[in-house]
Amino acid sequence: MQVARIIGLNIFLAALFLFLSLLFFSDYTLTKEIFQSKVKQEHQQRLLPVFEKIFDKTYPNTFVFANEIKNTVEDLNVEARNQQQWDQVIYDDYAGTLTKASTQGIIVEYTLLLFILIFGGGTLGALLFILPKISIEAPGIKNNNIFHHALNNRGWIGILLGTLLISFYILLYFYDAYVTNWIILVEPLKKLINPNGDSSQWFLYGFLYTFAVIVMGIRMLIKYRHSNYQMVRTASVMFFQLAIAFLLPEILVRLNQPYFDFKNMWPLDYDFFDAWHINMLTESGGSVGLFMFVWGITLFVVGVPVFVYFFGKRWYCSWVCGCGGLAETAGDPFRQLSDKSLKAWKVERWMVHAVLIFAIVMTGAVLYNFITGTNSIFGIDTYTHLRKPYGFFVGAIFSGVVGTGFYPLMGNRVWCRFGCPLAAYLGFVQRFKSRFRITTNGGQCISCGNCSTYCEMGIDVRWYAQRGQNIVRSSCVGCGVCSSVCPRGVLNLEVKEEEGRFGKPILIGNNGIKLQD
């Protein structure tokens, strides 16, 4: 069995290595035909003279080629800006589209084979590594050697993985032309779902994301197979990621309907109220689009308070949400790295609520502009000073680069804890108007600290448990792992009448001694 695991690990690493090295595999040749088919009519005349000189010239890698395209267009733009010919500036991402169209070599010739080798091999390897655990270990909490392992305890593997993830996000968000080979790699799947569609960096991201949630979800299902709560919850995040976040929007597009993720909502979905998005749903989306628009608003106006009241914030954060889904599956090996100090809690409260306020102000301005048909508010250009910085700092850097890239360094919920405006909103409701709480069990707590150690949100659960006090915290996502790892059966996620939720600690102790605050 251990042999199977070692083979599996090697197959997985080989697939990963192939995937990474794929970036360096191809040559790039721009031809006149490609130029004519991919460049917009209105740009062709101006771009032809500057591109002509690189026609039929072969470049050995994507970095040189994409830079050449980018710089060529940028030179023209600089010129146009200098002459204040604003309408002449080209905003299209020709580096991306032309690079993709000009790619030559094995990635184009053997796309499907490579796809199967990488993702088939990756899955096979991962499963060979994961599945034998069923017979090697009895069901139960098995956190053995987590803090001795270089992956789980910020050792060299963790730092290497963090670096890889951070680089991946930076490439994906800001240098998508460099990952053209990966975008081409997932093209067969895109065509399978949607024959008329073209794979993009976002399809690539969606696929990798779903792949990670499913494979690591299987690991989670096996690791916590003694706990029905964890099994049902994991199955839920796997379903929502695969069906609702990944497949359904693609299918909608195939049916000529707007792309829409039914489980995402404002303010996490920060471009929901962007003019282009509202227009897409309400004007060109037909009755389905209108339904989506109403659904999206109902979800955060009615859905959040009602569901949080009855179930706690967990109904979203650890059962439905995509960010939560990744954190609970791929992020599970890193949950112990969250900072539990009081200081971290203070930072968290300032930061997450600041992002919520930023999201509200930004959205308010965007909506104001949409309704009034203007571009600015109080003399401030909305796009330049609000919408764009939000997209860059919160949407890309915080939720992506830091949120996931830092899994192996700061734990799996950095974004959810410090940055997610929706989590802040859900948390507000959970703190002040909900039936949910984590209860503690009389005097059974032995202060061992497993609960706090494995709380991904960095809540010092033990502080409550050892004094017999209910845990009512806005940040608690209800993953239930504190309860799972408790060796004495002390913690339980419960939904009960609101009364007594903030009651006095009920530590069962000596007769007549009541705990004081």
Question: What does the block give as tokens for 212?
Answer: 């990670």
CB of 161 to other proteins, least distance (A): 19
Question: What does the block give as tokens for 252?
Answer: 């909608």
- Peptide bond preceding 267 in cis form (omega within 30 of 0): yes
String marking each residue 484-513 x if it binds other proteins according to CB under 8 A = xx-xxx--xx------------x-xxxxxx
User: Is 342 an interacting residue with respect to other proteins (CB under 8 A)?
Assistant: yes
Using alpha carbons only, how large is the chain's radius of gyration in Å? 25
Q: Which stretch binds other proteins (CB under 8 A): 147-155, 160-168, 236-244, 300-308?
A: 147-155
Question: What does the block give as tokens for 395?
Answer: 């949407």
User: Is 227 an interacting residue with respect to other proteins (CB under 8 A)?
Assistant: yes
The answer to whether 180 and 187 have CB atoms below 8 angstroms apart is: no
User: Is 447 an interacting residue with respect to other proteins (CB under 8 A)?
Assistant: yes
Looking at residue 406, its amino acid is F
CB of 337 to other proteins, least distance (A): 11
Give every CB contact of residue 155 below 8 A, 6+ residues apart in sequence. Answer: 149
CB of 332 to other proteins, least distance (A): 14
Q: Three-state DSSP class for 67?
A: helix
Beta strands in 423-482 (DSSP E): 436-439
User: Is 140 an interacting residue with respect to other proteins (CB under 8 A)?
Assistant: yes
450: nearest Cα among 462, 439, 458: 462
CB burial of 353-364 (b: ≥16 within 10 Å; e: otherwise) equals bebbebbeebbe
Among 25, 63, 115, 229, contact with other proteins (rule: CB under 8 A): 229
Among 60, 120, 139, 503, contact with other proteins (rule: CB under 8 A): 139
Q: Which stretch binds other proteins (CB under 8 A): 80-88, 145-153, 239-247, 348-356?
A: 145-153
User: Is 449 an interacting residue with respect to other proteins (CB under 8 A)?
Assistant: yes
57 versus 226: smaller Cβ distance to other proteins: 226
285 versus 480: smaller Cβ distance to other proteins: 480
Q: Which stretch binds other proteins (CB under 8 A): 51-59, 133-141, 171-179, 397-405?
A: 133-141
CB burial of 329-350 (b: ≥16 within 10 Å; e: otherwise) equals bbbbbbbbbbebeeebbeebee
User: Is 453 an interacting residue with respect to other proteins (CB under 8 A)?
Assistant: yes
How many residues at the interface with other proteins, by CB under 8 A? 50
Looking at residue 337, its amino acid is L
339: nearest Cα among 406, 400, 411: 411
User: Is 412 an interacting residue with respect to other proteins (CB under 8 A)?
Assistant: no
Among 444, 472, 501, 504, contact with other proteins (rule: CB under 8 A): 444
Neighbours of 120 (CB within 10 A): 13
User: Is 313 an interacting residue with respect to other proteins (CB under 8 A)?
Assistant: no
- Please report where in the chains the tokens 């007769």 appear, as a residue: 511
User: Is 452 an interacting residue with respect to other proteins (CB under 8 A)?
Assistant: yes
User: Is 443 an interacting residue with respect to other proteins (CB under 8 A)?
Assistant: yes
CB-count exposure of residue 289 (10 Å: 0-12, 13-18, 19+): buried
Among 41, 83, 145, 284, contact with other proteins (rule: CB under 8 A): 145
Among 36, 58, 104, 341, contact with other proteins (rule: CB under 8 A): 341
Among 44, 104, 143, 384, contact with other proteins (rule: CB under 8 A): 143
SS (H, E, C) 366-394: HHHHHHHCCCEECCEEHHHHHHHHHHHHH
262 versus 463: smaller Cβ distance to other proteins: 463
Among 41, 228, 284, 372, contact with other proteins (rule: CB under 8 A): 228
26 versus 440: smaller Cβ distance to other proteins: 440
User: Is 148 an interacting residue with respect to other proteins (CB under 8 A)?
Assistant: yes
Largest CA distance in the chain: 91
Among 17, 24, 110, 147, contact with other proteins (rule: CB under 8 A): 147
User: Is 149 an interacting residue with respect to other proteins (CB under 8 A)?
Assistant: yes
CA-to-CA distance for 272 and 395, rounded, in angstroms?
13
Question: Could you tell me the CA-to-CA distances from 267 to 35, 72, 364, 417 in Å, in that order?
Answer: 40, 38, 11, 15
25 versus 229: smaller Cβ distance to other proteins: 229
Looking at residue 324, its amino acid is G
Q: Which stretch binds other proteins (CB under 8 A): 106-114, 317-325, 326-334, 461-469?
A: 461-469
Outline where 175-227 has alpha helix (H).
180-185, 187-193, 201-223
User: Is 448 an interacting residue with respect to other proteins (CB under 8 A)?
Assistant: yes
User: Is 446 an interacting residue with respect to other proteins (CB under 8 A)?
Assistant: yes
167 versus 492: smaller Cβ distance to other proteins: 492
Question: Which residues are paired to 377 by β-bridges?
Answer: 380
CB of 307 to other proteins, least distance (A): 15
φ, ψ at 331 (rounded to 5°): -90, -10
**Positions in the binding site for other proteins (CB under 8 A):** 138-141, 143-149, 226-229, 231-232, 341-342, 441-444, 446-450, 452-453, 462-463, 466, 480, 483-485, 487-489, 492-493, 506, 508-513, 516
